[in-house]
Amino acid sequence: MKQRSSIIGSVEALPHRVASHLSREIEGGDIIPGARLPTESQLADKFGVSRNVVREAIAQLRADGMIEARQGVGAFVMAPEQRTAIRIDREALKDQRNMEQLFELRSILETESATLAAARCTSDDLDAIKAALDRMGGEERWEDGSIEADLLFHRAIARATGNSYIYTFISFVCEQIRQSIHYARLTNPLHDLVEVNVAEHVRIYDALAAHDPQAAGEAMRRHIDGAASRVGVELTAKINRGK
Amino acid sequence: MKQRSSIIGSVEALPHRVASHLSREIEGGDIIPGARLPTESQLADKFGVSRNVVREAIAQLRADGMIEARQGVGAFVMAPEQRTAIRIDREALKDQRNMEQLFELRSILETESATLAAARCTSDDLDAIKAALDRMGGEERWEDGSIEADLLFHRAIARATGNSYIYTFISFVCEQIRQSIHYARLTNPLHDLVEVNVAEHVRIYDALAAHDPQAAGEAMRRHIDGAASRVGVELTAKINRGK
DNA sequence: GATCATACGGTCATCCTACAACATAGCAAG
DNA sequence: CTTGCTATGTTGTAGGATGACCGTATGATC
């Protein structure tokens, strides 16, 4: 391959780097919505890559609805409200405040997920949830797989709501959180915390099995809040919900 | 351009069509997670396009974490849980049941959004919400812009939560719904329904201004449920939340 | 026979050039 | 002033060439 001088860092693949660079420029407000991007050739020159690479990068951004390309005219950046995809910046989650906000969102989704699941879950759903619970409290208790089982538990509940979008959103948020705090759980595997974690899951399961929506929701909310603090994230500004 | 025989429909751009086709194959379970995709050349032949087009399509899917390409080996489909992006199929929303589920998710998010906003909103936030409300009830009352103002109102509330992820998720869900039921609002602009709609918004605003989380949440839930039925979507299986 | 270094083929990654499709601006003819 | 053509620039697509990387088969060595 010819040696070309690139103005951006290394490691990742070229199209991804270009896409990230453009994405940051757009998110950062350097390019305002409605404005036209430089031509593909200009971008290729600017980044020191071929036009093909630029096109692949733009293809990604276009799929997200971040920019719109019109043949013969150019590429334009779209308003952030009409994105066709949700993407969470892994880098941003290193900021504690962002992580807190994501946990707050998770708390909302999971609480309602448990509430709905308690009212709707079938015996098959309960079996799946129980299976995940057993994996968590069983032999994999302190192993790496317990994290996997934990996610399985929450996903099984989300599936029991019968709402595929709730399942998708919760899976997504949980996965983002997991990948960002993976280290925290590994460096802090205090056994008593694990016990607490398992106990909270049992309480949730009991409420689900009893088909008690309110109890399930409250147990889940306490669990998520507890899980957050266990990984060093404090959910601030708790509010009175009038319950 | 050379005439090539394509096995897929028309209208959209080639890379997008290929991406959608592959995406459906993966979502539909035709290709199980972990399996390898055909090589880029094979896909190019299969779809009757150039390899460049296939690469752009794959770039999109890869950005979503749907597939992973390893140089020198091939492209593999990933488990649906570890997607890096959420994308909602516009086609699927034509199915009434899916629309119901999406409305249920919106109800959850917006209810909690209003609850949080009531506790946290500043006077600036209230001003922004009021501005949207005025646009909705004012001269644009029965014009096309009222839909825009409606979205503005809900987004302003989401912003008042101070949680950027809640804002992102609500904006996204609302936008998906708007684009899918746009026709419904236009073909059914009954004035009394509009009046009801405005009245509900006023009730939400009053609760926010009074910093009453519980009232705001309940008003918002009623509003979303009402809005759903107004566009022909019935939220079934309402459950007892024990409130 | 077992083990390790090497060669080879397949695949993705990147690059390049060329051309088609499309949009816009400007100019010329009516 | 309107209409239509042309010139130019931009994105869309095609196709081929080469480099980088991986897995495996081959063969040499012990």
Say if strands A67-70 and A74-77 run parallel, antiparallel, or are unpaired. Answer: antiparallel
Long-range residue pairs from B56-59, CB within 8 A, at least 24 positions apart, any chain: B56/A55, B56/A56, B56/A59, B56/B15, B56/B19, B57/A59, B57/B15, B57/B16, B57/B18, B57/B19, B57/B22, B58/B19, B58/B22, B59/A15, B59/A56, B59/A57, B59/A59, B59/A60
The pLDDT value recorded for residue A3 is 38
Lowest model confidence (mean pLDDT) among A30-39, A47-56, B117-126: A30-39
The pLDDT value recorded for residue B208 is 96
B213 to A86: CB separation less than 8 angstroms, yes or no:
no
> Which amino acid makes up residue A191?
H
Q: Which two tokens stand for residue B86?
A: 């959420």
Query: Measured between alpha carbons, how far is B131 from B111 in angstroms, rounded to an integer?
Result: 21
A163 to B83: CB separation less than 8 angstroms, yes or no:
no
A166 to B98: CB separation less than 8 angstroms, yes or no:
no
Which nucleotide does the CA of B54 lie closest to, via C1'?
D13
From residue B122, alpha-carbon distances to A97, B50, B211 in Å are: 19, 55, 10
| pLDDT of B46 strictly over 90 | no
| pLDDT of A6 strictly over 80 | no
Q: Indicate the pLDDT class of residue A184, thresholds 50, 70 and 90.
A: low
Average pLDDT, chain A: 83
Q: Contacts of residue B165 in chain A, CB cutoff 8 Å?
A: 88, 98, 101-102, 104-105
CA dihedral (A106, B92, A160, A198) positive or negative: negative
Query: Measured between alpha carbons, how far is B239 from B107 in angstroms, rounded to an integer?
Result: 13
| pLDDT of A204 strictly over 50 | yes
Query: Measured between alpha carbons, how far is B238 from B222 in angstroms, rounded to an integer?
Result: 12
| pLDDT of A117 strictly over 90 | yes
> Which residue in B70, B88, B116, B172 has the most chain A C-beta atoms within 10 A of its own C-beta, making it the best mutation to test that interface?
B172
Tokens 């919106």 locate to B106
pLDDT top residue among A33 and B111: B111
The pLDDT value recorded for residue A145 is 65
**Helix or strand holding residue A168 (H, E):** helix A164-187
H-type alpha helices, B121-190: 123-137, 145-160, 164-187
| pLDDT of A137 strictly over 60 | yes
CA dihedral (A101, A103, A104, A109) positive or negative: positive
B163 to A213: CB separation less than 8 angstroms, yes or no:
no
* Residues at the strand C interface (Cβ < 7 Å): A 1-2, 4, 13-15, 48-53, 56, 70-73; B 1, 37, 39-41, 51-52, 55, 58, 69-75
Q: Indicate the pLDDT class of residue A239, thresholds 50, 70 and 90.
A: low
Q: CA at A49, C1' at C19: how many angstroms apart?
A: 22
> Which amino acid makes up residue A123?
S
Are A24 and A33 within 8 A, CB to CB? no
B239 to A119: CB separation less than 8 angstroms, yes or no:
yes
From residue B175, alpha-carbon distances to A31, A65, A80, A165, B108 in Å are: 22, 12, 11, 15, 16
The pLDDT value recorded for residue A110 is 97
From residue B113, alpha-carbon distances to A81, A212, A221 in Å are: 17, 24, 16
Q: Contacts of residue B120 in chain A, CB cutoff 8 Å?
A: 237, 239
| pLDDT of B145 strictly over 80 | no
**Most confident range, picked from A41-55, B72-86, B210-224:** B210-224
Chain C positions with any atom < 7 A from a protein CB: 9-17, 19-24
Tokens 């409420």 locate to A207
The pLDDT value recorded for residue A138 is 65
ipTM entry = 0.82
Are B200 and B226 within 8 A, CB to CB? yes
- The tally of CA atoms less than 13 A away on the side-chain side of residue B107 is 26
Q: Indicate the pLDDT class of residue B160, thresholds 50, 70 and 90.
A: very high
| pLDDT of B73 strictly over 70 | yes
Beta strands in chain B (DSSP E): 67-70, 74-77, 85-87
The pLDDT value recorded for residue B238 is 56
pLDDT top residue among A11 and A84: A84
**Most confident range, picked from A39-53, B79-93, B180-194:** A39-53
Above pLDDT 70, what percent of chain A?
83
Q: Indicate the pLDDT class of residue B9, thresholds 50, 70 and 90.
A: very low
